[in-house]
Amino acid sequence: MKVLVIGSGAREHAMVWKLRQSRHVTQIYAAPGSDGMASLAECVPLKPTQLRELADFARERKIDLTVVGPEDPLVDGIVDLFQRRGLRIYGPTQKAARLEGSKAFAKEIMSRNGIQTGGHKVYESAQPALEYLGNCDYPIVIKADGLAAGKGVTVAKTQEQAEAAVREAMVAKRFGAAGRKLLIEDFLQGEEVSAHAITDGHTILPLCLAQDHKAVGDGDTGENTGGMGTYSPLPQVSDEHLAAIERDVLVQTVHAMNREDVPFKGTLFAGLMMTRQGPKVLEYNVRFGDPETQSILMRMKGDFYEVLSATVDGKLDTVEVDWDPRAVVTVVLASGGYPREFEKGYKIRGLDSDFGPDVQVFHAGTKRVDGQWYTNGGRVLSVVAAGADLPDARRKAYDAIAKIQYDRMVFRKDIGWRALKAQEGRK
């Protein structure tokens, strides 16, 4: 089978790596792909936004399955286009992708269908939003309504910080069209969890939980990023809480979309806050998370292609997935200055090191020139390690990172700290 993976980041590199292990897959193309995944896939010079050209390529090369990594083409309707042309593609339709494309739309779905989430207000201009901030309890959360690459969220501890976030989005237009509409939400107390499920609209296959580290700095300090690292499983989430996530969020969301006559097929990713009242949805994504995917696919036991293909065909009930019981830790290596301004072109050393059989390095923002690797993005690499337990996986990941060097490299040194703290508290 021929597979086309759309995207170029570490998430897509991990997908290509996992698909390459399938007994069904004979050829993988990546659009645009990256130098980092070129040994596993033939890279095609097409951007994820070139929907028609991607469909033309899929038809010309007789692609059996297209897998979409980033959210933008899903929100722009790539699945609808491929389906009109009779091409098999994994992901939700444009209408269903509004769950991620518009946070206000997602809130409406939750409100109408009894899915627990935080209280919120929606604003389409700055002045009313600024006036509302004078009557809020802090901290409070400011979110851009549209797609902002994981950076459109501010947790404001003071009114001054909240006002600055509103002006940045709606006056300075840092997030472009994504910030034309803003949500001001209640701040939810608890622990944040990433819950993924694959669904064909009827059968729901929950994936293993992961926990992302959004803030750029240790101890959850600094600005929010696209994600600085993840780990899985989450020992602090009980079986009771896991059942509540599946029953009250994942299953209810799929049912809600069917009731709304907007059936959802693909990857449903709910960012959750585990509150004292149970799991509450912070936001939805309609594709695999980054860097959650790196940890999830490292733990997945089973044929990834079979799962995705069965989903497209509405036969997800015919496949099974098991999970490696070991812990997995993913640490993102970034460029100094990320998530704001950063420089590219620093030479990367150590990528040819022997990291051991339990470590994988996925490329997010790199470039290969004359046999040498250079930085080429805000997030540069994902270092993923499996271990007997969380401390062992962390040790392997950070030992591998010690072999990699480039100027202005930044990474969090505390991935998994919440789980370690919980485990320490139970001793």
Q: Which domains does the chain have, with CATH numbers?
A: 2-94 (3.40.50.20), 119-186 (3.30.1490.20), 190-323 (3.30.470.20), 327-425 (3.90.600.10)
Percent of the chain beyond pLDDT 90?
87
Using a cut of 0.85, tell me whether the model's pTM lies above it.
Answer: yes
Interval 248-259: pLDDT, tens: 999 999 999 999
pLDDT at 28: 98
| Residues whose CB is less than 8 angstroms from the CB of residue 209 and which lie 6 or more positions away in sequence, other chains included | 193, 194, 195, 232, 233, 234, 237, 242, 245
pLDDT at 424: 72
Mean pLDDT rounded to a whole number for the chain = 95
Q: Is 20 exposed, middle or buried (0-12, 13-18, 19+ CB in 10 A)?
A: middle
279 touches 194 (CB < 8 A): no
Is pLDDT above 70 for 157? Answer: yes
pLDDT digits (tens, 9 = 90+) for 331-345: 999 999 999 999 999
Q: What pLDDT does 180 receive?
A: 87
pLDDT of residue 389: 97
Residues with Cβ within 8 Å of 341's Cβ and at least 6 positions away in sequence, in order, are none
Tell me, what's the pLDDT at 187? 92
Residue 149, pLDDT > 80, answer: no
Parallel, antiparallel, or unpaired: how do β-strands 89-90 and 120-123 relate?
unpaired
Rg (CA), the chain: 21
* pLDDT over 80 (residue 151): no
pLDDT of residue 150: 66
Q: Which residue has the tokens 């050209």?
A: 53
The CA distance from 37 to 41, in Å, is: 6
What does the pLDDT average to over 202-218? 96
- Torsion angle (degrees, nearest 10) of CA 382, 383, 386, 387: -140
Cβ neighbours for 292, distance < 8 A, ≥ 6 positions apart: 194, 196, 210, 212, 227, 230, 232, 269
**Could you identify the residue written with the tokens 């910080």?**
161
